[in-house]
Structure 1
Amino acid sequence: MLIFTNVTWLDLCLASAGVYLVKQAFNKRNPAPYPPGPPGWPLIGNITDIPHNKPWLTFAKWSKTYGDILHIEIPGRHIIVLNSVKAAIELLDKKSSIYSDRPFLTMSCELVGWKHALGFLSYGDRFRNYRKNIHRIMGSHAAIDVYQPIEEIEVRRFLKRVVAQPEQLNAHIRHTAGAIILRISYGYEVKDNNDPFVDLAGRAMHQFSRCTETGAFMVDIMPWLANVPEWFPGAGFKRLAREWRQNLKETVDAPYKFAKDQIAAGIAPMSYTSNLLNGRTLSAEEEHMVKWSAVSIYAGGADTTVSTIYSIFLAMTLFPDVQKKAQAEIDAVVGTDRLPSFADRDSLPYIEALIKESLRWNAVAPTGFGHCVSEDDIYDGYYIPKGTMLIPNIWSMLNDPQTYANPSQFNPERFLDNDGRGPEREPRTISFGFGRRICPGMHLADASIWISTVMSLAVFDISKIVENGVEHTPEVDFSSGLVSHPKPFKCSIKPRSAKAIALIQQDVNY
């Protein structure tokens, strides 16, 4: 929803006219043409063309006319959309030294305060320090092995909650994702129900998704609107920003204080925060980096993991043959007398393929997180000026029929050797982003998705729900926003056997 009034439309026209006249007065001839794209209007460019609901679909449609790299413009900013893996790799990977900055969004960065989080940091020393700390703790498969017991125990608790209240599936997934991330980030063990930190962080992530949605706030196009008072007509965004900023501050400060208090009392379990604080006296800058890098782990991992795991339950509801194959593999390798563990991962290739397909089928971040180029560049004969925002259309890349046969189908076998044909492209090289901005918590997210999936399939049968004798087929529809979630759906979740019930009910403790 655009936060406009007649006043701001007039302001937009006047501001655009001013920008246009200044550019005309001082503009020098470009060294090459911009990439092709939909023609814009004088003064306002493509501002009326950019969709605010599922923009990745429109970008993919435009690519059929204008090609894999297309250009649009709004007052004060050039935007380039990359619709192919090749273009994304050529620019964001191979030229990462100049394509690793972030666009500054006034609403989310300045007014709400997300500018301190890793995802919004400009490429520089603070960014590199965040990444170095996170990489040391969870930047490799070996580094995250130490957290496997935490993940296995929290997923066991998830199974208990699901069998007790299967209709609350989404809430259970969200609770478990929050429990894992909070334990690893701060050493905090969540309460069974209505945990204050999970609720706090959940609100912050919902608000984060709203304030970063493409075109949702006019202040991102006209930053000077940030200076208008709250009572001014059309300035409702200022009141929202004030509320969201306070919630974000609590989300950053409260779990960090918990971790510090635990360390001071000598009872802190191992966590990202305790590893960085134990036995050290930090400067104000160092403490700032620990606080914000810790909350960045939550922001980067919790919501995306929820979306993927929820989409797997949707896929199992819609594609029962896939579920049966996965369960047959688990039964053959693990048996029915125990739950699967990470030790079984290398012996379960079909489950591995299922995880890959889940990352492809539901593009959790359909348009990725915009990059920004730090100096003028020429690519494929096209001019990309300094400050241009680049949007990788990850949804388009993961649904390209030239790369993935029948992309709307959930088919794990595409990632296995079939009839002498090699597997299709590994989706994890796309879904977690590109270049120096690739998700630093990708290994942790991958592990959480895997263990949640394999344990759930070991003990549950997931199917379409029957109400009043009528079977209901869930709709495959994913929400708009920076993080895309499956539309809420109903499904039947039942234990597979008496043995499965006994495994679910086993006591679990840290």
Structure 2
Amino acid sequence: MAISFQPTAWPLYVWLSILVAIPGITLLYDLVTWLRMPPGPTPLPFVGNKFQLPKKQPWIQFEKWSKVYGPIFTIWIGRRPTVVISDPVIASELMEARSSKYSSRPRMVAMGEILWDGASVLVQPYGKGWSTRRKLLHMALTPKALRLYKPVQEAEASRLAYGLLHRPTDWVKLIETFTSSVVFCVAYGHRIDSLGAQVIRRRFEFMQYSASLNVPGKYLVETFPVLKYVPDFLAPWKREIKQHGKEEAEENMALVDVVQQDVARAEASGGSKADVPDSLCKMLLELRETSGIPLSDRDFSFIPASLFGAGSDTTASTLCSAFLALITHPETLQAAHAELDAVIGTERTPTFDDEANLPYIRALAKEVLRWRPVAVLGGTPHASTEDDHYEGYYIPAGTTILGNSWAINLNEEYYPNPHHFNPLRFLDEELAVKAKNPFGPLGKPHPSKSGHSSFGWGRRICPGANLATNSLYIALAKLLWAYDILPIEGRHYDTFAYTEGFNIRPQEFECIVRVRSESHRRVLERESKEAEAFLEKFTPFGE
């Protein structure tokens, strides 16, 4: 009997066999992959560990799993594996030593492709387009460029310290104004005087909306990317995302136009470009004129705009954690005051020139970054681009890689008594001995020179890390010089009460911010006037 190869002639049992075979083969493939990868909680077929993942604070569950399955384990989101790393040495080995294999991003259809249309350096996959944007961003954040920004950071920190004299209960808003103004001065050459400025309100709206898209399981298009090609009139969810993306791009381009108008105005009045404050946007515009930049106006505008997400909200959140640490660990405030009084005195506030002579303040800034990392899951995840093996485990190409900063920064092998806020960890051994460190040995050496990895790893490390570190140091130095930051008597403070999301900060709390003396007050008033005079050239964005 002849066998027909026409599908329409096949009997029902053949079709049933195919329908059973396809998921069966898929399941077998997934099983073999699962057995070869780092261990982890057992996933369900096709669903993965979806029902085992907590809806709140997943990093804490990840830390618990690391104690069961080891410092590198696998979870599954549907059929997509995610390798979670809880040890700094492993994170450094994969994402730094092997960065050529682990520097891409997982596909983010809703946020990266529909909202931003591939324009943002944050979510771009590893390749030429990402490399071009990264190079341009780094050109404005070289050591030489960072030195140019320090006077701005000092002046803004003086404004912050002075503002607390009159609005001590508004310390969160004043901190957010400080970090926002620093970033806008650096990015566009204009300062921020109030969080009511429209440009800041819009910036926070854009950040919140993009974060809302990056929620696992919220959009079916992440599981079935083909849905991005559904016509807009049949997909209102897609139309809404694209509209938000259009508005953000228009705002970004409008900010570039502001800088172009600044230059044109200076030249028309008989001056030159040199009369316009230096900024990332100004530098990029000059580079585009002389060397050419292979980006559209829209894509170009996303480069200076990316600084806000990298250095404003994150630094503000870190400073909020510093306040929480100081009121729950009062011995650190006393130690900071002792160093500042001995080195600086009472006739002026600290500057960047004092940094080398303020090792405890520098250590305190590092400890804040370690103790409560803002990018609690290591920032935007990495993705592998090649098959690889680590310690006998298989890591296939396309695997999402998460560095769980919470577990890494609280790893007892590297940071004994990790939940205790202890800046002495970051003093060199001789100074720590002199300080009679009561919390035991300093732990195993960390692979990073900074002693922590709160800004990420390898080629995807936060490009604004040094800018943020400088802002953190100068703000802490001036505030600790000027103020007692104290708990309200009888009030309980929960050092684990943090917000949800990929970037976290303490939930709102109240504390006492009190100027240390009338002498300190007079210095703040004098230096505030000097700061305002310096910042006059950075005209403010209006409300």
Give the structure 2 partner of residue 248 of structure 1.
Answer: 248
Larger Rg: 2
| Residue identity opposite 1:95 in structure 2 | R
CA distance 1:25–1:344, change in 2 (3 Å): closer
2:323 is aligned with what amino acid? Answer: F
Q: C-alpha offsets along residues 94-141 of structure 1, whole Å, 9 cap, x if unaligned?
A: 11111100011122112322732111111112222222222222133x
Instruction: Spell out, residue by residue over 1:337-391, the C-alpha distance to the aligned partner (whole angstroms, 9 max, x if none).
Output: 1011000000001101101110111111111121111111122111111111011
1:138 aligned partner, one-letter code: L
> AA paired with 1:479?
T
In structure 2, what is the equivalent of residue 474 of structure 1?
493
- Cα distance in 1 for partners of 2:160, 2:108 equals 37
Alpha-carbon distance in structure 2 between the residues aligned to 1:362 and 1:58: 16
- The residue number in structure 1 matching 2:113 is 110
- Between 218-227 and 182-191, report the one with greater CA deviation: 218-227
Q: Deviations over 1:46-66 (max 9, x none)?
A: 222222311111111111111
Structure 1 residues 243 and 328, CA gap change in structure 2 (3 angstroms): farther
Question: Which of 478, 489, 494 is the matching residue for 2:509?
Answer: 489
- Which ranges in structure 1 are unaligned for 5 or more consecutive residues? 1-16
Structure 2 counterparts to residues 103-182 of structure 1, below 5 A: 103-113=106-116, 115-140=118-143, 142-182=144-184
Corresponding position of 2:264: 264
* Aligned-pair Cα RMSD in Å: 2.8
Deviation for aligned residue 1:247: 4.5
Residue 490 of structure 1 and its aligned partner are, at CA, apart by: 0.6
Q: 1:305: which partner in 2?
A: 315
Please report the TM-score for the alignment, with normalisation by the length of structure 2: 0.83
1:411 to 410, 417, 422: 422
Question: Residue 58 of structure 1: SS of its match in structure 2?
Answer: helix
Q: Deviations over 1:234-289 (max 9, x none)?
A: x8854763564244224422322211211222353110111121374356616455
Is the 2:249–2:298 contact (alpha carbons within 8 Å) kept by the matching residues of 1? no
| Rounded Cα–Cα distance in structure 2 between residues aligned with 1:31 and 1:38 | 11
Question: When the two structures are aligned, how many residues end up with a matched partner?
Answer: 488
Alignment deviations for residues 214-252 of structure 1 (CA, whole Å, 9 cap, x no partner) = 4444443343454668898xx885476356424422442
Question: Kindly tell me: are residues 193 and 443 of structure 1, through their superposed partners in 2, closer, same or farther at Cα, counting changes over 3 Å?
Answer: closer
Alpha-carbon distance between aligned partners in 2 of 1:19 and 1:338, rounded to the nearest angstrom: 74
Superposed CA deviations along residues 421-477 of structure 1, whole A, max 9, x for unmatched, are 6676466541111111111111101000000100001111111125xxxx3132222
How high is the sequence identity, in percent, across the aligned residues? Answer: 31
Please say if 1:195 is aligned against 2:206: no
1:356 to 366, 376, 398: 366
Alignment of 1:401-440 (within 5 A): 401-416=412-427, 417=429, 418-419=432-433, 425=446, 429-440=452-463
| Aligned mates of 1:481, 1:305 — CA distance in 2 | 16
**Whole-Å separation in 2 of the counterparts to 1:90 and 1:409:** 28
Cα distance in 1 for residues equivalent to 2:451 and 2:305? 23
CA distance in 2, matches of 1:409, 1:114: 43
Structure 1 range deviating more: 110-119 or 402-411: 110-119
CA drift at 1:499: 1.4
Deviations 1:391-442 (A, max 9, x none): 1111101001121111111111122223396676466541111111111111
Alignment counterpart, residue 450 of structure 1, candidates 473, 478, 496: 473
Report matched runs for 1:320-331 at 5 Å: 320-331=330-341
Kept after mapping to 1: 8 A contact 2:409/2:452: no
Residue 344 (structure 2) aligned to one of 313, 319, 334: 334
Give the aligned partner of residue 505 of structure 1: 525
Decide which of 249, 257, 281 is 1:273's aligned counterpart: 281
* 2:376 alignment partner in structure 1: 366
